[in-house]
Amino acid sequence: MSKEMLEAFRILEEDKGIKKEDIIEAVTESLRSAYRRRYGQADSAAIEFNEKTGDFRVFTVREVVDEVFDSRLEISLKDALAINTAYELGDKIKFEEAPAEFGRVAAQSAKQTIMEKMRKQTRAITYNTYKEHENEIMSGTVERFDNRFIYVNLGSIEAQLSKQDQIPGEVFASHDRIEVFVYKVEDNPRGVNVFVSRSHPEMIKRLMEQEIPEVYDGTVEIMSVAREAGDRTKVAVRSHNPNVDAIGTIVGRGGANIKKITSKFHPAKYDAKSGRMVPTEENIDVIEWVADPAEFIYNSIAPAEVDQVIFDEEDSKRALVVVPDNKLSLAIGRRGQNVRLAAHLTGFRIDIKSASEFEEMEDQYFAVEAEQEEVPAEAESVEGLEVSDFAEEVEVAQEERDLPVEEASDLVLESEVPEQE
């Protein structure tokens, strides 16, 4: 070890971000491990580092005893007095060992230990660095592709952009500079994995924070985002300043702010007329957030009109939305997209009915209610007298007295039903 070692430590600290103290500790541990391999024990070994010369010195510590049983741990009083007449029984004496005695195996062991420490330290630094950027947007360069991922170089690591995290229709080439949303950072035995996305709803929120000052300073707050990447997004916003219009602020003059956001994405769709892929824009609907869930759902169905919102008594997160007949297809949206985004935005399970469907459903409901309330006359009881018993007694009275049915019925009623004042 020499001053070249100090220079190597300095380079590692600057290039890899590994502290010199951690490297020294790793080398110290490796020398102690090598000594244990060479001599079968390490408790008696003491490693010292000279920061001026860059040298490591290895010492063994032996105790002064009358009779020596292990020369690696003990020294006789006679031999100790030969070194220094002041030594007494029980004293500890340090003996410097020449590192060359460890041989090639010891050097290799030290190297392996240092490399392992460096790998762990580098991985910890990488993990902590990118963990701080979790749920944020980072810029990177497209490096390479395979069947599962686009690999994006973020500086000291390649992040993984999976197919489901890509915007349908977006195409990139190697060395393209792109922005990605870091949504998960993992540290596992194989190394640090950083997962990024361009389709994540939170990416819209972070882009608005970057591009719109009122969002960045908290004057306008983005409450929720529902997104089908590359096609359509709904954003619910509120203003904490009565003098600031939340929707107008997000949209910007002439839609300038929205255009800044959509310009970050470059999806393309197949055009049947031209027979080629053409650029498209992701539509962003900005909706006012309100605390009243019925009004919030009403707003979220836009651009369709809503007649009424009815909540399920048994399921607090389910709602029925009634819309005019001519607005049903608009409320549902293409392939159910509008109502699906509204449900994600509000957190409610939403059922859509047209006004005529709802009216028919109400008529059926009230008809069933009426049937349940109506009791057939032949099923009624007369003052506690069951119909079956009453009919039998009328028949008996009719046979015994040879009376018409009406007179027999009156006779039975008079005998069974007590007079009431």
| Whether residue 176 is found in the same domain as residue 234 | no
221 and 320 share a domain? Answer: no
CATH at residue 175: 2.40.50.140
* 84 and 116, same domain (yes or no): yes
Is the domain of 385 the same as that of 341? no
Do 242 and 267 have their domain in common?
yes
In a domain? residue 266: yes
Residue 56: give its domain's CATH number: 3.30.1480.10
One domain, residues 225 and 303: no
Q: Per-residue pLDDT tens, the chain, 421 aa: give them.
A: 456 667 767 776 777 667 777 777 777 777 777 777 666 655 667 777 777 776 777 777 888 888 888 777 788 888 888 888 888 888 888 877 765 555 455 556 556 766 777 788 788 888 999 999 999 999 999 999 998 899 999 988 999 999 999 999 888 999 999 999 999 999 988 889 999 999 999 999 999 999 999 999 999 999 999 999 999 999 999 999 999 999 999 999 999 999 999 999 988 877 778 888 788 888 999 999 999 999 999 999 988 899 999 998 888 899 999 999 999 999 999 889 999 999 999 999 999 999 998 888 876 655 655 666 665 544 444 444 454 565 666 566 666 666 565 565 566 556 655 554 3
Structural domains of the chain, count: 5
Regarding whether 390 and 277 lie in a shared domain, the answer is no
In a domain, residue 207? The reply is: no
Q: What is the model's pTM?
A: 0.67
CATH number at residue 275: 3.30.300.20
In a domain, 284, yes or no: yes
In SS3 terms, the chain reads as: CCHHHHHHHHHHHHHHCCCHHHHHHHHHHHHHHHHHHHHCCCCCEEEEEECCCCEEEEEEEEEEECCCCCCCCEEEHHHHHHHCCCCCCCCEEEEEECHHHHHHHHHHHHHHHHHHHHHHHHHHHHHHHHHCCCCEEEEEEEEEECCCEEEEECCCCEEEEEHHHCCCCCCCCCCCEEEEEEEEEEEECCEEEEEEECCCHHHHHHHHHHHCHHHHCCCEEEEEEEEECCCEEEEEEEECCCCCCHHHHHHCHHHHHHHHHHCCCCCEEEECCCCEEEECCCEEEEEECCCCHHHHHHHHCCCCCCCEEEECCCCCCEEEEEECHHHHHHHHCHHHHHHHHHHHHHCCEEEEEEHHHHHHHHHHHHHHHHHHHCCCHHHCCECCECHHHHHHHHHHHHHHHCCCHHHHHHHHHHHHCCCCC
Q: Which domain holds residue 58?
A: 3-128
